[in-house]
Chain A
Amino acid sequence: MMAELLTTTALPIMLVGAMVGIASSAVGTFLVLRGNSMLSDAISHSIVFGIVIVWLLTKQQSGPVQLIGAALTGLLTVLLTEALASTKRVKQDTAIGLVFPALFSIGVLLLNIYANDVHIDTHTVLLGEIGFVWLDTLDIFGLPIPQALVSMSVMTVLNYAFIGLFYKELKLATFDPALAKTFGFMPSILFYVLLMLTSSTAVAAFDAVGAVLFIAFAIVPASAAYLLTDRLWMMFIIGALISIASSISGYYLAVFLNVSIGGMMAVMTGVFLMLAFLAGPRYGVITQLVKRQRARQAPVEPPPSV
């Protein structure tokens, strides 16, 4: 009985977890490299506002309308932040810290007001219900596929399609925005599209992991990858691998301890970040210590005579 339940639910849950990680770390990689990681924090909070507004207007809780609504909300967040910062009255970080709590607050209050009508409550907003993704399925080729898996796969494809199409442009815009601009690549437009994709990914991941844990999936695998490699394409692969590993290990630990599955998966991404931080082959703290120790013990070569 137990084994049967596990086989029918474990795989979809782990797949959804891995897909959330793969899709979000793809966009997260660019956020980490550009130094805009906290925008994922801002976006993931303020899409609560977008979700509630779209729900009030269309009564749809998921699907393409919500994804587009989220993209627009994310854009709104960033534009409001930039508008505030451009007045020169507040700094960029203060502007972020003003905009997203305000939008999030409106979202939560609207949820409070329409609590009886809407499915999502403040609890789901924060935690998501990855444990129940297999309850909501779509029939595809006669197979019951969890809806969350479908939407996450769509976002993964969209994210990687964008990155694949504009790989060269994104790379240049990330590492040398000035040069990208002189080439006419319009780095700011690329960046806005990237943020809209981030928002849509956040909404697709919302049912599964909630608002706050999404930040972990977007930022942490990408950060860990950043500590392990100097190649951009390698960062995507490492980010995806860490996401998959976190999803599997997090699932079994959560079942074993009887705790939140999404939470445990996010904690596991943190464990991998710590591993990369400590034992990374080139930038790891331990590696650096060993290198320094070796350098100290190595016989001192006499300076070359002139």
Chain B
Amino acid sequence: MVWLELLSDYTFQNVVIGASLLGLISGPLGCFAVLRRQSLLGDAISHAALPGICLSFIITGSRDIGGIIMGSLITGSAAALIMLVLTRLSRLKTDAALGACLSIFFAVGIVLLTYIQSTNNASQGGLEAFLFGQAAATLRSDLWVMGSITLVTLVLLAVFWKQAKLVTFDAEYARTLGMPITVIEASLTAMVALAVVVGLQMVGVILMAAMIVAPAAAARQWSRHLGGMLTIAAGVGIVSGVSGATISTLSRGLATGPLIVLTATVIVLISLALAPGRGLLWGVIKHYRQKSALQKQQLLYALYKHSADPSCAPSTLGSRRMLNKLKQQGYLSRSPRGTTPGDDGWGLTAQGQAEARRVVAAFEELAS
């Protein structure tokens, strides 16, 4: 009953649609950023959106979404451009240029924000919501703008799919084919700025970086193909966006951005552990399986080849656990303790003999 009520709630509908749009755009574009090793560029661009938001507010005098999007796009791209210029024309490395752009643009944003506050404009409330996001403040008209940006971006991506893919994986080859790789790279970066803009309302400028990185990092674990990765990233983005925004709306008082980011982080951790093929858990299991198989083969080999040698008595070779396990499987039998020192009574059964012969044959074939 609560859920039905919730679903028909106007604000809640806005929140869910907005969060889905955010996932839909940030996931796929994040994939390109992560694959091009520009994960932290999203961080710089999103921090740099703050002065744009404030400038647009100073110029238009209102919290109009169109102006805010234009403003944050301009300052976000400017930050990316300055970063590029700093690394190309000076000896600063990428990380220093990123950090400098991020912090200085954000500082300009803070200065402008306090300037707006000091002029005491009545409609300035709500600007600070852009720092951490406030999903509940999303309007239907905002959604149309966010939706159009998402649609345009995804269509652009589909049209220039081949070029974007080639530049991402083999820029040098793309250059020899005569592709304008600077233009394509710049467009991919500008698109990240678009994704940031869509997420401003939802997660805010500070945590938008995570929405670029996390869905892509999760998706990378599940797919080896760019198309699949993009689709999964969009899905992860939508799921974390919608669930984070829902919790935030229900709880009232918990910031939306952190909730969305934490949901996405949990999905990343699950993906890292469980994704088929790449999952860390499978790796651990495989390691132990191989270890125990090797131990079993060593034991059988030793018993078969060196059963007379007391220094190769089974109890000195393997763990008691492995011996008992082999006994259960029918490979070993245990007779009462023998008289010769070192003979602890372990011996191969007929089935064990056959298995041991197989192991020895395989080993000798390998050795020859």
Contact = CB atoms under 8 A, between A and B. Distances in A.
Interface of A: 32, 35-38, 40-41, 45, 84, 87, 89-91, 93-94, 96-98, 101-102, 104-106, 108-109, 112-113, 115, 122-123, 126-127, 212-213, 215-216, 218-220, 222-223, 226-227, 254, 257-260, 262-264, 266-267, 269-270, 273, 277, 283, 285
Nearest to A213: B107
A213 B40 CA distance: 17
Interface stretch (B57-65, B213-221, B289-297): B213-221
Interface residues of B, number: 61
Given A38-B99, A97-B210, A90 B111 contact: no
A102 B99 contact: no
29 contacts: A38-B43, A97-B40, A97-B214, A101-B207, A101-B213, A102-B210, A105-B259, A106-B258, A106-B262, A108-B132, A108-B255, A108-B258, A109-B259, A112-B253, A113-B254, A126-B206, A213-B107, A215-B99, A219-B99, A219-B100, A226-B92, A226-B96, A257-B115, A260-B110, A260-B111, A262-B110, A263-B108, A266-B106, A267-B111
Q: Interface on chain B toward A: helix, strand, loop, or mixed SS? A: helix
A227 B255 contact: no
Interface of B: 34, 37-40, 42-43, 47, 86, 89-93, 95-100, 102-104, 106-115, 118, 128, 131-132, 206-207, 209-210, 212-214, 216-217, 220-221, 253-255, 257-259, 261-262, 265, 268, 272, 278, 280
Contact of A93 (B40, B118, B220, B259): B40
Nearest to A123: B128
Contact of B96 (A219, A262, A263): A219
A94 B258 contact: no
Contact of B90 (A127, A254, A283): A283
B111 A94 contact: no
Contacts of A105: 207, 210, 257-259, 261-262, 265
Contacts of B206: 45, 104, 126, 212
Contact of B111 (A104, A212, A259): A259
Contact of A227 (B47, B91, B110, B220): B91
A167 B40 CA distance: 31
A127 B217 contact: no
Given A106-B262, A263-B111, 8 more contacts: A37-B100, A38-B40, A101-B210, A212-B103, A213-B107, A222-B96, A260-B111, A263-B110
A94, A96, A267 — which one has the most chain B CB atoms within 10 A of its CB? Answer: A94
A47 B257 CA distance: 18
Contacts of B113: 260
Nearest to B50: A212
A223 B92 contact: yes
